[in-house]
Structure 1
Amino acid sequence: MNRTRRTFLQLFFAAIARAASLSVDALRDPAAPAAARSYRADVVISLLGVHLYSKQAAGSAHASLSETTRDGRRKIALSFSGGSHPERVHGVNYAGSSEEIAIECAGDLIQAVSFGFVTASPNDESFEHARRRIADGSAHEAFVAVEELHESSRVRIRKAAIAAPIDSVRSKFCEACPSEQTLAVPGVPAMFLHTVLRAVRSPDPATTAAYVHNGRRYRLDTTRAANSITGKIHDFETGRRSEFRLWLEDGSDLPIRIEFSPRSYLHITLEAL
């Protein structure tokens, strides 16, 4: 493992280790065996079909999955984190992390909790706005952090903006006096990573499932090929659609390759190491 990727992962693990009063901490089982996979992030920037920039190893990512069963209940813990290496991409500093714990009984979801954060930037930021923000030096360590508790008929959401180093986001979340809201929903709504995992494990050639993420309703439609899954995300609030693709290998639920485009001009490929 090279120094850049090792330093990046150490920061994320430090962020996770700094305990706060979070629902996800109360349900985590540190002793549960986990499957894990690290990735190299390659990026391509293009505008109107014109290739502008590409970089291998522009960032890193890490995914993990653990499961335990006790008293007829299965606890599934999922995490995904990733970010850029600023020294390799002209100072661009972007990072995000998501942890989920889902509890199932007889195959049905009965409770779920999550905590995640991402570098603060407008969801619809254009290429030109991003370029100006970086050129002006206004890309700094400011994060939007969200905690969710999914229970029968409701989702409790707590959200806060935090200007702090990445390894302090978790510990400062409660200090930031997060705003709170409750979303009324039917049943116990799924979370994103758990929804993707169910699609990966499904033998069906196509799946459709609704979920709630960051207090918003989405639908994930997937189609399966021989060794890959294509996912299409529908945002019910904005009507926007996005797509990703996962490549899988036998015997593992964690992809060996992931492709997605968080912006219309930005394409990211994660290759397993």
Structure 2
Amino acid sequence: MRTPRNCNDFLKQFGSEVFRSLITRRSLFSLLPSFCLGAFFPALAPGASPLDRIAANWPAQFTGPRTRRYRADVIVTFLGIPVFSRASVGSANITVEEGTTQDNAQTVALRFAAGSVPERTKGLNRLGYIQELVVCRNTDVLESAYFGFMTSSPESNYDEDRKALGPDAKDAVAYTAVQGSAVRSKCSYELYQMVLPGTWTFAHCDEVVRHVRASLSRKELKLTRAETSADLQSPRTFLYAVREAIQSGSKRIQTPFLYNGKPFKLDVEKGPDPKTAQHFVSKKLVASASSVLRLNGSIQNLQSGDKTPFRVWFEKDSDLPLRFEYRPRGYLNLAFEQYES
């Protein structure tokens, strides 16, 4: 399995590996006949990271962070019919902070973290985190930076790195870390590899963030790739582009964004979904079904042409989703829904 390099890759790997941990090929196909017939920032580590540089160049007064937490469920379908599901295989959270600089530029800090619950996934331990800082004036994005990490497949140096953790590292987990920045004229990013203790799970995400940022600051991680590109369409980042689409008054939005030097396009269409909205009312997540909209979207890699579909449900006048779904495989759906009040 290739090393994931962005949020899209992580969710694809996360869903697939959770599925494999829960059900074997034999047990899956044994289900099919019956259904066919009958059926914000934490404290920054010292050092001039891209996030640190933008925060220093654009000092802002931030409002208090807004956070929403989610439960992750996995659903397997056959010919569009659900044949297997497991609730609470993971958790996630999204945090938004907004600020204003002295010269009235707007700053938006976004954070997304997701991970498996090993007790619900037969020991599978997966964790991903992305943090973005975007500076804009109205709809014009001036500068952006991001930092993140995610579990990855062991590379050739995995055994050597694992030994460095000591005798208790038999369950060590391989990670990829990334940091990057972009302005209108160019972007740059760096990819790193590392191995961390297997005892660190989603519950330890803040601790992992501090550890990885400190390791990057001290230049302790192995650099695997560093690139700089020019002639950008936009320095928008992924989470910012999705939030912008949610907030837009338009029903159809197409937005370019950048990740790891590669151009992507976000293509979304929004409209009502009365059935799912009523579900949110029954869960006491919203007061009125009429306040809920569904966003049907796709992420297209403009170099390869590959498209990845996703869906987001949200309440009008809110930028924090009620639910979002991602389909890493045609038969596999990963759903994140806000915990009940």
Report Cα offsets for 1:137-173 as digits up to 9, x if no partner: x985111111111112111111101112451333223
Counterpart-to-counterpart distance in 1, 2:66 and 2:97: 6
1:44 corresponds to which of 69, 75, 81: 75
**Which structure's residues are more often helix, by fraction?**
2
Q: In structure 2, which of residues 91, 105, 114 is the aligned counterpart of residue 60 of structure 1?
A: 91
- Listed one character per residue, the Cα deviations across residues 96-128 of structure 1 (whole Å, up to 9, x for unaligned) are 111000001243111000001111149xxxxxx
Match among 121, 128, 137 for residue 96 of structure 1? 128
**Equivalent position of 1:220 in the other structure:** 266
The question of whether the paired residues in 2 share the 8 Å contact of 1:93 and 1:140 is answered with no
**Residue of structure 2 in register with 1:24 after alignment:** 51
Distance 1:18 1:99 in 2: 12
Matching of residue 72 in structure 1 with residue 72 in structure 2: no
Distance 1:84 1:112 in 2: 29
The 1:246–1:49 alpha-carbon spacing in structure 2 relative to 1, beyond 3 Å, is closer
Matched, 1:141 2:173: yes
Unaligned runs of 5+ in 2: 1-39, 155-169, 201-207, 273-292
Q: How many residues were matched structurally?
A: 245
Select 1:200's aligned residue among 246, 250, 271.
246
How far is the alpha carbon of 1:248 from its aligned partner? 0.7
Higher strand share: 1
Share of identical aligned residues, percent?
Answer: 31
Residue 119 of structure 1: aligned partner: 151
The runs of 5 or more residues in structure 1 that have no matched partner are 1-12, 123-137
Which residue number corresponds to residue 270 of structure 1? 336
Deviation at 1:201, TM superposition (A): 1.0
TM-score (norm 2): 0.65
Deviation at 1:16, TM superposition (A): 4.6
CA contact (8 A) 1:154 1:188 kept: no
Deviations 1:192-227 (A, max 9, x none): 011111111111110101111122211110000121
1:72–1:106: 8 Å Cα contact kept in structure 2? no
Q: Identify the residue that residue 163 of structure 2 maps to in structure 1.
A: none
Match of 2:236 among 184, 190, 214: 190
Corresponding position of 1:170 = 213
Pair 256,49 (structure 1): closer, same or farther in 2 beyond 3 Å: closer
